[in-house]
Amino acid sequence: MVIERIRTILGRNRRREKPAPVPLERGVIPWLLAVALATSLPHAEHLPLWLTLIFSTLLIGRTWLWQRNARLPARWLLALIAITGTAGIAWHYRTLFGRDAGVALLVFFMALKPLELHARRDGLVIVMLGFFLLLTHYFHSQSIPTGLWLFATTILLTATLIRMNGGGPSPRRILGDAATLVAQALPLMLVFFLFFPRVQGPLWGLPRDAHAGLTGLSDRMSPGSLNQLIQSGEIAFRAQFTSPLPARSQLYWRGPVLDLYDGLTWRANPRNALRSANKPAAVEILRPNFADYTLTLEPHNQRWLLALDLPISFPEGTGLWPTFETLAREPVRYRTRYSFRSALDHAANRDETPRMRTQSLRLPANLNPRTRQLAREWQETLGDPERISAAALRFFRDEKFFYTLQPPLLGEHAIDEFLFDSRRGFCEHYAAAYVVLMRAAGIPARVVTGYQGGEINPIDGYLTVRQSDAHAWAEIWLEGRGWTRVDPTAAVAPSRIERGIGAALPAGDPLPALVRVDGDWLRRLQQLRHRWEAANNAWNQWVIGYNPQRQREVLSRIGMKSPDWRMMSLALAAGSTLILAFVAIGMLCRRTKAPADQRAWLDLCRALERHGIHRLPWEGPFALAERVCREHPELSEITKEAAGCYATLRYGETNSPEHLRALQNCTKRLASRRRKTR
């Protein structure tokens, strides 16, 4: 008997079917389609056109099927589409791994999943995929509009979850509830943001494609290379001064130093050659004139830090090379803050090595004979290097040279054609020509590239340096004085140094529109740009740039001296506990406000209690009115009228204000009768 009973139970368990999946309501599908569109739409700018077209086709097709209440595609067709799309992504990106290919796969799957929506769990997959897809938008942009879009999409995702789990029929009410839930989570989010131990650098660093779109200075300069930068209005870096702002003519932000010249292109020396064959940089302070500042450097995937010429104190992990470039150990791959002190009046390498001086005299043979002849004449007649340099600057100033971003093309003897024929160019032409003249005259010289000037944002006080401020100047080595900065562009277009490139160029030259401030409408646009850039800078400094260093600064201000991960973890736990306890207490103590009709009825019952009539817990309005008629006939008329009004308000189809006022008037009449009987 026992064995047969066990067999019976086991047989029932085998025959027991799995619970059927919860079906998905038809009204939820538009919410899920909106989630797929909102979480994927910003990626359209970065995806290949064919993938964007496939995504749009699949989403439009699913919407059409929903409107027609048609059957979904067969599984074999979905499998074929999935295989074809995955193969196309692998062919386009040559891989299925990495940032761009991974994001493309997520977007493709987001478009494909709505075509197999059968149960609630399929909808949950779309919502969870949407939450994850939101994070990928920060691969391409971390701006304020991106943050606002993601915040709004988070509310939409939360609203979709509410709708899937039986939310009300009103979309406005569902979105309001979702916004309330997200707002309630903000204090906890803020605690995690402040106290969670920060990780240096981006969370997902993919070196193969993480910096493909970055631009900036290069370690080589060929004709037209700086021209491309000058025509860009993108921000290169910002500087916040804690000391008085130096004069604009002193704002030379030093980048790569170019020593090697082949007649067409200037190149920087290899780093290992500089380290092994030259002594370290020696900077002497001539006068106590210092600049203290913090750079917020945009990512440019290079090691140079563009410090103000010439730094004497450096952040940890950086240093000054023999050519006075400030270099970091690793390329700058994300927005980073560096604090410097620079000496504005200095002498650099008074005792330079013979190898460095010889290297700074080399010129390619058999090129630019007219330039060499002019330099030899100066060397024979003037002799002194400082007088030769002054003669070259006077030559640029007195002859008819023009500063323009549209110079003519130059041939094999480029310097000769520039100095004696075209005489049209911009900073790279003048710096290169000056250095060739100095080398031909026996004076060590080299080209320095970087940025010159900058614009103070009146909203936040930061100095903004743009790619359009890219500049090239020269350095010559003088006996007893060391390397001395000479800017030949200042001899031709002094307004370039004093007021910026917009004041130096003729009206027809290409330049970002807002760099030229001509006309009231452009000035108004510039004011709007200042406000926007100040807001964007605050976002970058305190949100995107909230790195371990900035976290330590903030926590030290609130009393956490030398915070480490243990102290921050304790603060995180304590802050989270306090917030959750506050929310729990608020929910427990919260009293639901009764409707107006119920409050009016309770007021009437309290008025009856003053007459000695206490409503029993089980008594409805009409039962109470009948008892009042028996026990207190004088109050029967008022009580019957009040019971009728309350029943109409509470259970009737109409909820008119007249019945509510009549009920409140009955309460007043009871109170008045009580006063008369005293």
Q: What is the pLDDT of residues 514-534, one digit of tens each?
A: 555 555 555 677 778 778 888
- C-alpha span between 588 and 461 (Å, rounded): 48
pLDDT band for 631, please (50, 70, 90 cuts): confident
Q: Considering 471, 530, 611, 659, which one is annotated as catalytic?
A: 471
How many residues in total does the chain contain? 678
Nearest to 154 by CA among 122, 123, 186: 186
Nearest to 666 by CA among 611, 601, 613: 601
The pair of three-digit structure tokens given for residue 205, joined into one six-digit string: 């660093």
Nearest to 236 by CA among 407, 427, 449: 449
Q: How big is the CA angle at 98 (ends 94 and 104), to the nearest 5 degrees? A: 75
**Residue 447 near residue 257, CB atoms below 8 Å:** yes
**For position 214, what pLDDT does the model report?**
44
The CATH number assigned to the domain with range 356-448+472-503 reads: 3.10.620.30
Q: What share of the chain in percent tops pLDDT 90? A: 31
* Three-state secondary-structure class, residue 132: helix
- Name every residue whose Cβ is closer than 8 Å to that of residue 371 and which is 6 or more positions away in sequence: 415, 416, 419, 433, 436, 437, 440
Q: What share of the chain in percent tops pLDDT 70? A: 88
Residue matched to tokens 């995806």? 47
Over range 80-103, report the average pLDDT.
89
Q: How big is the CA angle at 216 (ends 461 and 526), to the nearest 5 degrees? A: 35
Residue matched to tokens 């990626």? 43
How remote is the C-alpha of 6 from its chain's centroid?
66
Nearest to 394 by CA among 486, 506, 500: 486
pLDDT band for 299, please (50, 70, 90 cuts): confident
**For residues 362 and 515, which has the higher predicted lDDT (pLDDT)?**
362
What are the beta bridge partners of residue 267?
220, 260
Q: What is the CA radius of gyration of the chain?
A: 38
- C-alpha span between 666 and 661 (Å, rounded): 9
Q: How big is the CA angle at 462 (ends 458 and 463), to the nearest 5 degrees? A: 100
The pair of three-digit structure tokens given for residue 299, joined into one six-digit string: 């990512």
- C-alpha span between 178 and 183 (Å, rounded): 9
Is residue 140 annotated as part of the catalytic site, yes or no?
A: no
pLDDT digits over 205-262, tens only? 443 333 433 457 888 888 777 777 777 778 889 999 999 999 998 999 999 999 999 8
Mean pLDDT of the chain: 84
**For position 654, what pLDDT does the model report?**
64
Q: Around 555, how many Cα atoms within 13 Å sit in the side-chain half-sphere?
A: 27
Over range 370-388, report the average pLDDT.
93
Enumerate the domain spans of the chain.
Answer: 26-164, 220-353, 356-448+472-503, 596-677
**For position 200, what pLDDT does the model report?**
60
The pair of three-digit structure tokens given for residue 270, joined into one six-digit string: 């290899």
**For position 210, what pLDDT does the model report?**
39
Over range 405-421, report the average pLDDT.
87
Query: Picking from 297-306, 322-331, 523-532, 638-647, which range would have the lowest pLDDT averaged per residue?
Result: 523-532
**For position 205, what pLDDT does the model report?**
45
pLDDT digits over 577-629, tens only? 888 888 778 777 765 667 788 888 888 888 888 888 888 888 888 888 888 88
* Sign, Cα dihedral of 400, 401, 402, 403: negative
- Highest mean pLDDT among 105-114, 231-240, 272-281, 557-566 belongs to 105-114
Over range 298-321, report the average pLDDT.
88
- Name every residue whose Cβ is closer than 8 Å to that of residue 345 and which is 6 or more positions away in sequence: 285, 286, 287, 289
Query: Given a cut of 90, is residue 572 above it in pLDDT?
Result: no
- C-alpha span between 157 and 185 (Å, rounded): 15
Query: Given a cut of 90, is residue 405 above it in pLDDT?
Result: no
Q: Considering 177, 219, 487, 597, which one is annotated as catalytic?
A: 487
How remote is the C-alpha of 627 from its chain's centroid?
72
- Highest mean pLDDT among 20-29, 117-126, 279-288, 427-436 belongs to 427-436
Is residue 209 annotated as part of the catalytic site, yes or no?
A: no
**For position 12, what pLDDT does the model report?**
53
Over range 302-323, report the average pLDDT.
89
**Residue 133 near residue 55, CB atoms below 8 Å:** no
Nearest to 362 by CA among 261, 256, 478: 261
**For position 647, what pLDDT does the model report?**
86
pLDDT digits over 439-479, tens only? 999 999 999 999 999 989 988 889 999 888 899 999 999 99
pTM: predicted TM-score of the whole model, two decimal places: 0.70
Is residue 118 annotated as part of the catalytic site, yes or no?
A: no
**For position 199, what pLDDT does the model report?**
66
Q: Where are the beta strands (DSSP E) in 289-335?
A: 290-297, 311-313, 318-320, 326-328
- Highest mean pLDDT among 391-405, 558-572, 642-656 belongs to 391-405
Nearest to 117 by CA among 107, 108, 127: 127
Q: Around 539, how many Cα atoms within 13 Å sit in the side-chain half-sphere?
A: 14
Q: Considering 309, 427, 530, 611, which one is annotated as catalytic?
A: 427
- C-alpha span between 236 and 215 (Å, rounded): 9
Query: Given a cut of 90, is residue 378 above it in pLDDT?
Result: yes
pLDDT band for 204, please (50, 70, 90 cuts): very low
- C-alpha span between 486 and 491 (Å, rounded): 10
**For residues 230 and 353, which has the higher predicted lDDT (pLDDT)?**
353
Neighbours of 462 (CB within 10 A): 22
pLDDT band for 83, please (50, 70, 90 cuts): very high
